[in-house]
Amino acid sequence: MGPHPAVAAVRRAVRASLAGLEPGDLVLAACSGGADSLALAAALAFEGPRAGLLAGGVTVDHGLQPGSADRARHVVEVMTGLGLGPALSVAVTVATPGSRGSSPLDTSPSRPADPYPGPEAAARRARYAALDGAAEATGAVAVLLGHTLDDQAETVLLGLARGSGARSLAGMARSSGRYLRPLLGIRREHTEAACAVLGLEPWDDPQNFDPALTRTRVRGRLMPALAEALGPGVPEALARTADLLRADADALDAIAAAEAGKLGGPATVLTAGWPAPELAAMPEAIRHRLLRLAALAAGCPAGTLSHRHVTSIDGLVTGWHGQRWADLPGGVRCRRRYGRLLFTATAVVSPADAAVVPGVVPPAGPTGVPGVGPRASTTGVPAPQRDRRDPGGRE
């Protein structure tokens, strides 16, 4: 007699996600102690050795509730009991307004704190930093995450509420770098059933019931309301939408990356710049992706670069009437100069009286960026204005 259908479904999903790994590779299951990640950890403990892989686990102690350290120790004991090794616990400090947060395994270089993204995003940022650190410390080639089809459906709804584009509505990818999400085709009810059959006792995170958190309201209120109004199958339909949009978004991203290469690569926006007429001739979907790539290459934090910022850059391409710049997150500024888009830090701008010859990149200023010198003040965000070198707004 085979395993329970729920157990078999989770194991099949994990087995499929491990197919591309080499014998002897170490794989970690990220386990919070909830039903989804417990079922995932149990499946990895079963399937990993059968595929010739080393199977371990890691739990992250966010320190957000009393007794979290004891809870983390218990999860380590459970993972060890399942046969996972190494079984690690990593404590993190989740950022609060004005602080960066930290993880003992975070090896990224010191940098200024990003704008506070809110409690859910701050916890997620700390968690991924800890998981990255654990993978690097142990030599793991992959980390399995327990996101289910229900999580994917909630992600799509959250993207719709924010007015996001196709990339955000595409939800979570099954594979992203070292991270694998085997359970995106599995319903939460199946992971709960698998735990019950295997005798595992999931822990219910109190934050999953906190109505102050947006995802909690989506899970507890919106999804049941949609099921009542539209009937069963809403989560599956939303997840299917994510799969379809991801294929489209991947294709558009690939086209944009190829076009960026033709323009000299994203890094050239900091030196020679990109030609605005060539950008203007591209379809909007490709151009906006290129402008986002350029802004990220210039140092804009991905989490704070919004559609509004991209359209402000696009205005320098398609709505040019002499406006001087577009200010972006992370202290980045985009200017249009003699038909080219150039990104700089707001701490530096081109002197108004600089001798600039069209088609010729001037010598590097004190900043090392051609034609860019020091700026006296960065206070405030100036209103769009015409460039004094071009009072008619013409190039």
* Mean pLDDT, residues 17-42: 97
CB 344 within 8 A of CB 369: yes
Long-range contacts of 320-325 (CB under 8 A, 24+ apart): 320/276, 320/393, 320/395, 321/393, 322/386, 322/387, 322/390, 322/391, 322/392, 322/393, 322/394, 323/384, 323/385, 323/386, 323/393, 324/382, 324/384, 324/385, 324/386, 324/387, 325/349, 325/382, 325/384
Q: Which two tokens stand for residue 274?
A: 């990109």
Structure tokens, 333 = 């500024």
In angstroms, the CA 75 to CA 156 distance is 30
Cis peptide before 362 (omega within 30 of 0): no
The number of angstroms, rounded, from the C-alpha of 308 to the middle of its chain's C-alpha atoms is 18
**Which tokens go with 266?**
């994203």
Contact, 32 vs 203, CB < 8 A? Answer: yes
Task: Report the share of the chain in percent with pLDDT over 70.
Answer: 82
CA-to-CA distance for 76 and 33, rounded, in angstroms? 9
Name the band, by pLDDT with cuts 50, 70 and 90, for residue 100.
low
Residue predicted with more confidence, 363 or 245 = 245
pLDDT at position 383 is: 35
d(CA 159, CA 173): 15
Q: Is the pLDDT of residue 360 over 70?
A: no
pTM value surpassing 0.85: no
What would the mean pLDDT of 157-161 be, rounded to a whole number? 89
- 179-226 pLDDT, tens digit per residue, is 999 999 999 999 999 999 999 999 888 777 888 888 899 999 999 999
Q: Which residues pair with 274 in a beta bridge?
A: 341
Top mean pLDDT of 21-35, 213-227, 325-339, 346-360 is at 21-35
- Per DSSP, 321 falls in state S
> DSSP assignment, residue 224?
H
pLDDT tens for each residue of 227-239: 999 999 999 999 9
Q: Please give the pLDDT value at position 202.
A: 95
Question: Whole-angstrom Cα distance, residue 330 to residue 24?
Answer: 42
- pLDDT value of position 131: 96
Residue 66 banded pLDDT, cuts 50, 70, 90:
confident
pLDDT of residue 370: 36
* Residues in Cβ contact with 50 at an 8 Å cutoff, skipping those fewer than 6 apart: none
CB atoms within 10 A of CB 53: 20
Burial grade of 290 (CB within 10 A; 0-12, 13-18, 19 or more): buried
Output the average pLDDT for the chain.
Answer: 83
pLDDT tens, residue by residue, 267-316? 888 889 999 999 999 999 999 999 999 999 999 987 788 899 999 999 99
Tell me the DSSP string of 56-92.
Answer: EEEEEE---STTHHHHHHHHHHHHHHHT-SSEEEEE-
DSSP-derived pairing of the beta strands 54-61 and 26-30: parallel
CA distance between the termini of the chain: 77
The kind and range of the H/E element at 29 are strand 26-30
Instruction: Please count the other Cβ atoms lying within 10 Å of the Cβ belonging to residue 389.
Output: 12
- In this predicted structure, what is the pLDDT of residue 305? 87
**Cis previous bond, 86, omega within 30:** yes
When pLDDT is averaged across residues 377-392 and rounded to a whole number, the result is 35
